[in-house]
Amino acid sequence: MKKWLLAAAIASALAGCSADTQVVASQNAAVASATLPAGIKLLESYAPKSGEIGIPFNKYQLANGLTVVLHQDHSDPLVHVDVTYHVGSDRERYGRTGFAHLFEHMMFQGSAHVADEQHIKTVTAAGGSMNGTTNTDRTNYFESVPSNQLEKMLWLESDRMGFLLPALTDEKFEVQRATVKNERGQRVDNQPYGRMGEVFNQAFYPPGHPYSWPVIGWPEDLDRATSQDVRDFFSRWYGPNNATLTIGGDLDEAQTLAWVNKYFGEIPRGPEVKPLAKPLVTLDSTRYVSFEDNVHLPLVRIGFPTVYMRHADEAPLDVLASILGGSKNSILYKNLVKDGYAVQASASHGCSELACQMSIFALTNPAKGAALAPIEKIIRDSINEFETRGVTDEDIEKVKTEIRAQTIFGLQSVRGKVTSLASNETFTGEPNQVEFDLKRYGAVTKADVMRVYNQYIKGKPSVVLSVVPKGGNALIAAADNFKPTNPAVAKQAVEGLDGHQSLVAKSSFDRNIEPAAGAPVSLHMPSLWNDKLANNVEVMGTQSTETPTTNIVLYFDGGHKLESLAQAGLANLTAQVMNESTQLHSTEELAQKLDLLGASISFDANAFQSSIRVTALTENLDATIAILKEKLLQPGFVAADFERNKQQLLQMLQHQSTSPSAMASEGFDKMLYGDKMYLGVSDSGTLATVPSLSLADAKAFYEQQYTAGNAKIVAVSDLPKAELMQKLAPIAALTGSRADVPEQQPQTMVAKNTVYLIDKPGAAQSVIRVGKLSLPFDAEGEYFKATLMNYPLGMAFNSRINLNLREDKGYTYGARSMFVGGKETGYFYAGADVRADVTDKALAEVMKEITHYHEQGMTAEELKFTQDSISQSKAMDYETPFEKARFIRMIQRHDLPADYIEQQNKILANIDVAQLNQLAKKWLDPQSMGILVVGDKASVKPTLEALGYKVVDMSL
């Protein structure tokens, strides 16, 4: 049901100012309409009526067909710019897949007036963040920047919309093709279950259906592509008439329209784009497919074809998915997870523009058998059980509450609101869909849910996919009875150009001149307050009135550090059990209560603390706090809950033993700290420690960890301090003193010219991690300055390491370096996931960059870039309640002065190249670095030895 995050909106009535909002929006629309630049017309102006939830906006259109949606939000000095093109992998042709995603990469490679790598460097130097994403139905590009940088972002986006082709070279194409292959290797081929979606969809959709191939494309299709194909793809689909420009935030509407007209108005229209047909997908019979993978847990996935996005039956099908497997009070959870047959199980109704599917999956729990046929039977029986159970009034009410809560939480960022407007406009032609969504889900009846069950699910054919470990074919749900038939490879990658062979604009002004930034913005740092509960637990908070929500986090010093090494994983396991039953209510009853409140309470633990995160609608805060108190003070510690979570943890650890990234993290920690210190042993525990953990151990850890003496609270709410403290008063019932945490010292395994190698037979990629112990956290001293020193080496996208390995060599999807500091110690890290066949070359390049930086340091230009980027990014740091809470927790945990950001800014402004290069000489000596590689030992070990390294096998 996460799709309802799409309904992010401004609920003016919730802020108590709907009438004012309407007046302001009307005034803005009138002014904008009266002063519109030539060629722009106002299509629509909207502001929420009293009691209505929606995002105020004005919608315009340029003469070339570009749709422009503007939303004003002056609460923070930032803007979010989104350009969405209505083209995804659905516009590709069979045998020519991967173009939409490949083109997303090409759009960051410079244009006629923007040099190679300049787009990313310009956004980063402006203190912003940016990215692009591709899915089946659309591609979008976005930037979040301080509001004084808006004109510069429009210059960048317009230049690649109208002037990309002159800068597109064969060399750039080859580098980005290699980058996409690396991305596929990292995210698909080298990940457990990574190929699940593409195998499933080939069986689910008819041959040649736009969803029958993966968005990232088939490797052989990427090999088949040419740079001319990419040019044709751009000319066919990237015209302004197939795009929506959405801007939200602290903007002047008249000025913004003038800039939009200047930069985008001269771009010529592209070919006309017609909607794709949406015939409902059907299956003639149930199809069984399977494949073996490097996994530990067998997985079964069952899918039923249903409708398409925004079909009248989408909403009741979503409600059905929620009842079947949407939470801990669902049928599938009860029958599969609660009864111990699966470690995970859920149902969802995923919708895209052309098709939706009801999808059910389960990961087996080998403790009750790994075969998938019994799991499929339980799933089928659970579907039948729904028919007997039916739909309750609470089922419908829960959905309504979830939508309303998620909509309100979606108000908390400009990006969320802009994304909602852009998506709704792209797929419906109407940015304002929020109230419509609330009404269509609110209108769902019990009869509707039973009707769609009978129409789309009951007795209907499905696709059943089994994913089993290597050599585990005997575990599949049933013998394969389907093999996809593929159409012929398309001779042309793109059709329908209709003479638009070269979509390149002509400019009436000099686009080579980068627009200057506006006047510097002022930071909107939260105003903090401190207080204590009656039990002396410290509370630090701030009032944030943009949404009627409250975010609370309780932190308990300890976590993994508080447990003995022989009991590693106990803090984590105890937290998970506390997410279950209490002495008064079952897990299912508590889940239902929270769902009906639109709230969440989550226990967790990490290396140095246990925590409880609470999100609530402020109107329901009292009831949410009552549940928090019950879960904190009266945990059930039910034996069945403990054993189930213990089994889930054990199976998760087994799964991680097949994940290259998880193996690398565990091995890197072990290399840095040794296995005699808590930081060198996974806070999730190990396969050696978790089996011996008992319910008595969890109870004892609870008594030691969850005490008032260990606790501190961070709170962000629309309530003022006094009123919020009254709401938090029940937590004062927590008692207990502070626990003694023993000091531990690292015993690093780092050795000169040594590579620790973890064998991952047949790995498509190798994971490289280089690092050493370094500095603990400080806000104004050497650690902070070291992070500044490292910024141009490996933290920014256009850092030396990333540009070398990704953009120049095509070895990886991404590479980076960083300093990470804790309270006691810290470390330096550099690394990347790289193609297996270039493991030695990639490692050599990483070490070359570190060596050169150690010896030569940064340049004056790099220092200027670092200063610009970091100082201006501060405008982005305090927008949402989550970001405010993170800022407060940093102050609280490290006992920082409230003005520490101001002190950091002074250091940043006054530090010089010599100081930073001295730190590079001190902390980046490559001879002091340890090296870890996770990869195929048979192929990579000889090449690493050929570089002169001693290679030592590491076991986990």
State the average pLDDT over residues 452-477.
Answer: 97
Give every CB contact of residue 454 below 8 A, 6+ residues apart in sequence: none
Q: What is the pLDDT of residue 29?
A: 53
Helix (H) or strand (E) holding 230: helix 227-237
Report the C-alpha gap between 798 and 791 in whole angstroms.
10
196 with 297, same domain: the answer is no
pLDDT at 374 over 60: yes
Can you tell me the mean pLDDT for 629-650? 96
Residue 517 falls inside a structural domain: no
Domain that holds residue 913: 754-953
What mean pLDDT, rounded, does the chain reach? Answer: 92
Q: Are residues 758 and 706 both part of a single domain?
A: no
Tell me, yes or no, whether 249 and 330 share the same domain. Answer: no
Is the pLDDT at 658 greater than 80? The verdict is yes
Question: Does 665 reside within a domain?
Answer: yes
Using CB atoms within 10 Å of the CB of residue 432, give its burial: 0 to 12 exposed, 13 to 18 middle, 19+ buried. Answer: buried
Query: Using CA atoms, how far apart are residues 646 and 640, in angstroms rounded to an integer?
Result: 10
Residue 21 has pLDDT above 70, yes or no: no
| Cβ count within 10 A of residue 21 | 21
Q: How far is CA 1 from the centre of its chain?
A: 16
List, as one string, the DSSP characters of 887-952: HHHHHHHHT--TTHHHHHHHHHHH--HHHHHHHHHHH--GGG-EEEEEE-HHHHHHHHHHTT-EEE
Confidence of residue 355 (pLDDT cuts 50, 70, 90): very high
- Tokens found for residue 28: 């803005």
Query: Do 624 and 572 share a domain, yes or no?
Result: yes
Give the total residue count for the chain: 956
Which pairs from 885-889 meet CB under 8 Å and 24+ separation?
Answer: 885/551, 885/553, 885/714, 885/715, 885/716, 887/526, 888/526, 888/528, 888/540, 888/541, 888/542, 888/714, 888/716, 889/553, 889/555, 889/714
Pair 214, 318 in one domain: no
How would residue 350 be classed by pLDDT, with cut points 50, 70 and 90? very high
> Cβ neighbours of residue 833 under 8 Å, at least 6 residues apart?
182, 185, 186, 190, 660, 661, 765, 766, 767, 768, 812, 813, 814
Cα separations (Å) of 695 from 122, 343, 585? 55, 19, 19
pLDDT at 633: 98
pLDDT at 179 over 90: no
Residue 502 lies in a domain: no
- pLDDT band at residue 182 under the 50/70/90 scheme: confident
Residue 724 sits in the same domain as residue 762: no
Residue 573 resides in a domain: yes
Residue % of the chain over a pLDDT of 70: 96
Tokens of 153: 């972002």
Q: Residue 5: its pLDDT value, please? A: 27
Q: Do residues 362 and 666 lie in contact, with contact meaning Cβ atoms separated by under 8 Å?
A: no
User: How large is the average pLDDT for residues 675-688?
Assistant: 95
The reply to whether 16 and 104 lie within a common domain is: yes
Domain identity same for 142 and 24: yes
* 417 pLDDT more than 70: yes
Q: CB–CB of 463/284 below 8 Å?
A: no
> Does some domain include residue 552?
yes
Q: Does 427 map to a domain? A: yes
Last residue of a domain, one of 475, 494, 509: 475
Rounded average pLDDT over 194-223 = 94
At residue 500 the predicted structure's pLDDT band, cuts being 50, 70 and 90, is low
Domain boundary among 475, 508, 540: 475
Question: Would you state the pLDDT for residue 875?
Answer: 80
3-state secondary structure 65-108: CCEEEEEECCCCCEEEEEEEECCCHHHCCCCCCCHHHHHHHHCC
For the cut 70, the answer to whether the pLDDT of residue 349 exceeds it is yes
Q: Which CATH number is 255's domain given?
A: 3.30.830.10
Q: In what order do the strands lie in the sheet with 711-717?
A: 528-532, 538-543, 711-717, 549-557, 609-617, 600-605
3-state secondary structure of 558: coil
**Distances in Å between the alpha carbon of 332 and those of 211, 336, 396, 402, 869?**
27, 6, 18, 20, 48
pLDDT of residue 20: 42
Q: What is the 3-state secondary structure (H, E, C) of 651-685?
A: HHHHHHCCCHHHHHHHHHHHHHHCCCCHHHCCCCC
pLDDT value, residue 35: 75
Q: Which of 694-698, 741-745, 924-928 has the lowest mean pLDDT?
A: 741-745
pLDDT of 289 above 70: yes
Question: Mean pLDDT throughout 388-400?
Answer: 91
Measure the CA–CA gap between 631 and 587, rounded to whole angstroms: 10
| Residues 291, 237 share a domain | no
pTM tops 0.75, yes or no? yes
Least confident of 7-11, 46-50, 200-204: 7-11
pLDDT at 504 over 60: yes
The residue out of 436, 460, 475 marking a domain boundary is 475
**Residue 235 belongs to a domain:** yes
pLDDT per residue over 292-317, tens digit each? 998 989 999 999 999 999 999 999 99
Does residue 186 lie in a domain region?
Answer: yes
Same domain, 35 and 170: yes
- List strand residue ranges (DSSP E) for 606-665, in order: 609-617
Number of separate domains in the chain:
4
**pLDDT attached to residue 19:** 35
pLDDT band at 8 (very low <50, low <70, confident <90, very high): very low
* 534 shares a domain with 458: no
Mean of pLDDT values over 33-43: 84
| Position 683 pLDDT exceeds 90 | yes
**How far is 680 from 658, CA to CA, in rounded Å?**
19
pLDDT band per the 50, 70, 90 thresholds, residue 604: very high
Per-residue pLDDT at 224 exceeds 60: yes
pLDDT tens digits along 49-88 = 887 888 999 999 999 999 999 999 999 999 999 999 999 9
Report the percent of the chain where pLDDT is more than 90.
81
Note the pLDDT of residue 546: 87
Q: Are residues 760 and 850 in the same domain?
A: yes
Q: Which residues contact 667 (CB under 8 A, 6 or more apart)?
A: 756, 758, 769, 932, 934, 954, 956
pLDDT exceeds 90 at position 113: yes
